[in-house]
Amino acid sequence: MVDLTRVPVLIGGGQFTNRSPGGDDGPGAWDMLRIAAGEAAADAGDKGLLRRLSDIWLVSSLTLQGEPDAAGRLRDELGAVNARAVNGGAGGAVPQWLAGRAAEEVLRGRRPLVLIAGCEALATKRLRDRAGALDNLRSNMSDSAARGQRAATAPTFPPIDADPGVHAVELAHGLGLPTHMYALAESVVAHQAGDDVAAHRARMGRIMERLNAVAADNPYAWFPARRSAAELATPSPSNRVVCHPFTKYLCAIMDVDMAASVLMTDAQTARDLGLATSDVAFVAGWADAKDIWYVSERPDLGRSPAINACAGSALSMAGASIDDVTAFDLYSAFPVAVEVTMGAIGLTESDPRPLTLTGGLPYHGGAGNNYVTHSLVNTLHRVRSGGADETVLVHGNGYFLTKHAVGVYRGAPPVGATVTQDDLQRSVDADAAPIPLSGTVEGRGHIVAYTVDYDRAGGPADGIVVAEVRGSRTVAIASNELRDALVSADCVGQGVHVTPGAGRNTVAQV
């Protein structure tokens, strides 16, 4: 017989979107957090749940970076006087990572009542601060020293990495923004698919159209406008190229005002609260791991051994296979995040199952590190509506397809005792060793990955190439001739010559 005190369940979820950002009288971050937490409690039948919380785990918020103990303040705001308040770490995988840790608390028999919550008010911040929240974020992402200082002064769970995942050689050549790093991987995915530029734009559009359609019907989405595949992927005056091959409509948008929270406990506590099996989502499996830290050192930028391992482990823990999954909520900052995850878990483009229940970061809105908390809320509601046969797989991704967390949520309780995951990281690391990145490589080699940065006027700026020369990797700025070739054809594998320079390498066709 299943010990219900050792079975983790989601019992409530709440969301809030402020569609009138910037107003002096509008809700701020703390207002939105209180609203989302209250909605989660109401969704679970209330019963004074917020005052009974054992834990408050607050996902790291760009909006609240100045708060010395944001989780502690939220505890006070909610009146949860006995709750353990924890500041969650950074990265898009964190909400699912925290869900896994909360589930492990249940497995230990602690019988917790955990609130996982997060918010961003970056749209209001942008309107009130013309310097721009995203401009500040770009500066922070390019300054590893600043990241390290923040990590040292603001303890989090998990800790914020002092190294932001950008190698010094990458940084010296203009890489570092998510648009750049994901675009490098996208060039490899296009090459592996055998697509020319037009065919790959069409592929990205088709995939993202499926996400956009969900956002169009999501009352909490920031951009509920329905757009066709061609409209999403085709450059136009309203849809400029940001970084080849990404147009604006294919990129995550973080300037949003939204909050979300979920409540997790054990199945016996849920029953004691008067909740039926049909009111909860059973947290059936979870796993997390990371890929090679620096994007340019990955042997294959188009695949993720960590996603493959996480999905396999979480499904195995849940006693399920990929064929049992009825819906997915895949992380979707850019098309390549969806494409790589689909490849890792064995989905084809023709698979009719939903790729998202939320709508994707470019259309629902990418609420900083908190997007996946919205995914968890929508997963709970999907499982409730689908009944015992429902199985949802959620994927969270942090940094640049680097940190991954996968959860499996089911409408039926497990048939046997749930066990914790095995340590996956060793097997992931054994699957792919990094290829060293050097700033002083010279000679003939070939293109591994590439992108072309665009200015805001819509013109191409630097072409940036990851090249391999005699078993070593480097990054270099393309000649004008090569830059023009990069945006017009598949250039992965093309022969090039790398010439070292004073701080920046150059690369040309051979």
pLDDT in tens, 181-228: 999 999 999 999 999 999 999 999 999 999 999 999 999 999 999 999
Of residues 92 and 164, which shows the higher confidence score?
92
Statement: residue 90 has pLDDT above 50: yes
d(CA 230, CA 113): 46
Average pLDDT over residues 386-405: 97
Q: What confidence tens digit (pLDDT) does each residue in 114-140 have?
A: 999 999 999 998 887 754 444 554 454
Q: Could you tell me whether strands 327-329 and 257-266 are parallel, antiparallel, or unpaired per DSSP bridges?
A: unpaired
HEC secondary structure over 192-234: HHCCCHHHHHHHHHHHHHHHHHHHHCCCCCCCCCCCCHHHHHC
- Residue 507 pLDDT: 98
Statement: residue 148 has pLDDT above 60: no
Q: What confidence tens digit (pLDDT) does each residue in 250-264 have?
A: 999 999 999 999 999
By percentage, how much of the chain surpasses pLDDT 90? 85
Helix (H, G, I), strand (E, B) or coil at 89: coil
Mean model confidence pLDDT for the chain: 92
Average pLDDT over residues 149-167: 73
3-state percent helix, strand, coil for the chain, nearest multiple of 5: 40, 20, 40
- Residue 138 pLDDT: 45
CB 39, CB 27: distance < 8 Å:
no
Statement: residue 466 has pLDDT above 60: yes
Q: What confidence tens digit (pLDDT) does each residue in 41-64 have?
A: 999 999 899 999 999 999 999 999
Which domains occur in the chain, in start order? 4-155+253-412+421-431 (3.40.47.10), 443-509 (2.40.50.840)
CA atoms within 13 A on the CB side of 392: 30
Tokens describing residue 356: 């998202």
Statement: residue 417 has pLDDT above 60: no
- Residue 133 pLDDT: 42
In which band, very low, low, confident or very high, does the pLDDT at 340 lie, cut at 50, 70 and 90?
A: very high
In which band, very low, low, confident or very high, does the pLDDT at 17 lie, cut at 50, 70 and 90?
A: very high
221-259 in b/e burial notation, b at 16+ Cβ within 10 A?
bbbbeebebebbbebeeebbbbbbbbbebbbbbbbbbbb
In this prediction the pTM is 0.94
- Residue 332 pLDDT: 98
